[in-house]
Amino acid sequence: MANTIKKIGVLTSGGDAPGMNAAIRAVVRACSFYNVDCVGVYRGYQGLMEGDFEELNARSVRNIINKGGTFLKSARSMEFKTVEGRKRAYEQLTKNNIDALVVIGGDGTFTGGVYFSKEFDLPIVGIPATIDNDISGTDFTLGYDTALNTVVDAIDKIRDTASSHNRLFFIEVMGRDAGDIALNSGIGAGAEEILIPEEDEGVERMLESLRKSKMSGKLSSIIVVAEGEKSGKNIFQLAEYVEEHLEDYDIRVSVLGHIQRGGRPSCFDRVLASKLGVGAVEALLDGDSKVMIGLNHQHVVRVPLTVAINGEAKYDKELRRVADITSV
Ligand code: F6P
């Protein structure tokens, strides 16, 4: 490796995701392994502009692989979206002799990174971390697997009470404009119907499916609703709509909210974080920049950040087919 990089900064930005701590740990330990200094940047790009830094060594990241959240904290900075803000951040980097950055986050984080890297010719590598799994060029984002398991666990519990009372539950899950959490957790928890942003099949389909469920002898039902789904009704309006049209249903609504973002990362996310963290440092030491370290069929790959941000949303139509067949 042609190593001209002596000090790497690492930050987490945007919505936090389980596995971010494990990724920071891997970056810090890879730096230590390759004899490169590492600096933690607190509060994402906001802390970068303010010079909120701390030197990290291999021991600074002990016992964090199993912790949710991010000990470096996270923020969504409006100021970094301006050229002045990014200039301020660059001044902090030069003042502290930081040669390169690893940015851990989602599309907003990567977009900021692309601008910053281009304007100041600074090597930047991204690690995809968001529960939404909405980044192109990687099969999985950090935190998605843990969030899925959290959601399935919550739906299993709701299923218990739904079943005891013969009720229909509408359950809203996160995902912003992506339906990955809804579709996969819906199949995993045996939901009767799943509404996702990628396809709007209309509320009539849902009514029809509930009618069929009743006729087939189902006594309780679960409908998983992605927060970004496109029916034009929010989850409470959807519930009211069904109540008006199918009077014999006793309906409740549950919005899972931010519990989906917390908790101990799954083993899958810890291993993924470790692979991507090591891959990020190695990419920088190889002289790569403006790339995301992703996973493609088990292999760690380097994908241009622009592709990660602008690529086609990956939506698995086969999963919808499987959901329809297994919910009859
Ligand atoms: O991107 C992660 C995510 O949790 C989305 O699923 C959700 O739409 C959004 O962040 C919530 O953001 P905040 O924590 O700022 O309310």
CB 229 near ligand 1, within 6 Å: no
Q: Which atom of ligand 1 is nearest to the CA of 134?
A: 1
Residue 70 sits at φ, ψ, to 5 deg, of -145, 125
Q: What is the pLDDT of residues 279-300, one digit of tens each?
A: 999 999 999 999 999 999 999 9
Supply the residues annotated as catalytic: 132
Nearest CA to ligand 1 atom 12: 15
Structural domain 7-143+265-309, CATH architecture: 3-Layer(aba) Sandwich (3.40)
Q: Which atom of ligand 1 is nearest to the CA of 17?
A: 2
CB 75 near ligand 1, within 6 Å: no
How many Å lie between the centroid of ligand 1 and the Cα of residue 229?
15
Asked whether the domain spanning 145-261 has the same topology as the one spanning 7-143+265-309, the reply is yes
Q: How many CB atoms lie within 10 A of CB 147?
A: 33
* Residue 66, helix vs strand vs coil: coil
Give the residues across from 33 on adjacent strands.
none
With 0.85 as the threshold, say if the pTM is over it: yes
**145-261, CATH topology level:** Rossmann fold (3.40.50)
CB 147 near ligand 1, within 6 Å: no
Cα–Cα distances (Å) from 42 to 249, 250, 254, in that order, read 50, 48, 34
Q: What is the pLDDT of residues 163-175, one digit of tens each?
A: 999 999 999 999 9
* Residue 327, helix vs strand vs coil: coil
Cβ atoms of 251 and 210 closer than 8 Å: no
What residue ranges do the domains of the chain occupy? 7-143+265-309, 145-261
Which positions make up the binding site? 15, 25-29, 76-77, 106-109, 130-132, 159, 167, 174-176, 190-192, 218-220, 227, 252, 258-261
What's the sign of the alpha-carbon dihedral 9, 74, 71, 134? negative
pLDDT along the chain (328 residues), means of 10: 84 98 98 98 98 98 98 95 97 98 97 96 97 96 98 98 98 97 98 94 90 92 97 96 93 98 98 98 98 97 96 82 93
